[in-house]
Amino acid sequence: MSQEVERVYTINLGKVWLSPNNQRAKRAINMIREFATHHMKTEQIKIDPDLSQAVWKRGIRRPPRKIRVKMAVSTYEEEQAKAVEEKSKAKDKKKPEAPAAELEEQMEEKIEEKIEEKIEEKEKEAEVTELKKEILEPKETKEKLKAKPEEKQTKQKETKEKPKEAKPKKEDTKKKSESKEKKSGKKPAKKSK
């Protein structure tokens, strides 16, 4: 009822090089999709991982300028038939089923293990948070912080207790300069107002 059509095309990807270099391989994959939808007249396109590898082989910036592609159109019925065959093969490969009691015991063991793991994780998290608190706020720094305000207060008291030294008056400086001039034998300079 269904026919599978296969065709081989060489797709020119030269226009990919017009796009930004960090988007070229993505654009090449999109161009292949567009080409396939146009030539195979279908909207459902699946790109084979080997084709994707060939485009991405040299990285996102340097995809190939052209690529040879084999395209095939298959109907939905064929894909379903293949999927059913794969499922039946997978069932054949499965192990024979164990009795229900054994399965229940295994499930209970797994659940208990998971619970124990979660409890251990929570304990570890609690220990880590305690360590972080100790690291971030050690006791010594707390004591220093408490002691610092007291130190500041004592320093302020010390500064208040010291009396300010009196600055020499202008008269004193004039007398000193006059005495220096007398010793050197020069006449005092008159200041102009």
Task: Tell whether the model's pLDDT for residue 157 goes beyond 60.
Answer: no
Q: Can you tell me the mean pLDDT for 25-30?
A: 96
Task: Tell me what the pLDDT averaged over the chain comes to.
Answer: 77
Predicted local distance difference test score (pLDDT) of residue 177: 64
> What element of type H or E holds 70?
strand 66-73
Q: Is residue 168 in a domain?
A: no
Distance set, CA 44 to CA 36, 75, 146 (Å): 9, 10, 73
Q: Is residue 182 in a domain?
A: no
Nearest partner of 60 among 17, 14, 11, 9, judged by Cα: 17
Scan for tokens 């499922």, then name that residue.
87
CATH number of the structural domain spanning residue 63: 3.10.440.10
Write the pLDDT tens digit of every residue in 109-147.
888 888 988 888 888 888 877 777 767 665 555 566 566
- CA–CA distance, 92 with 100 (Å, rounded to integer): 20
More confident residue, 26 or 83: 26
Task: Tell whether the model's pLDDT for residue 184 goes beyond 70.
Answer: no
Domain-terminating residue out of 45, 78, 111: 78
Predicted local distance difference test score (pLDDT) of residue 1: 42
**Neighbouring residues of 118: CB distance < 8 A, sequence distance ≥ 6:** none
Q: Is residue 122 in a domain?
A: yes
Provide the residue range defining the domain that includes 124.
Answer: 102-133
Distance set, CA 5 to CA 8, 17, 49, 73, 74 (Å): 10, 31, 20, 5, 7
Write the pLDDT tens digit of every residue in 52-109.
999 999 999 999 999 999 998 877 666 777 777 777 776 666 555 557 777 788 888 8
Predicted local distance difference test score (pLDDT) of residue 172: 56
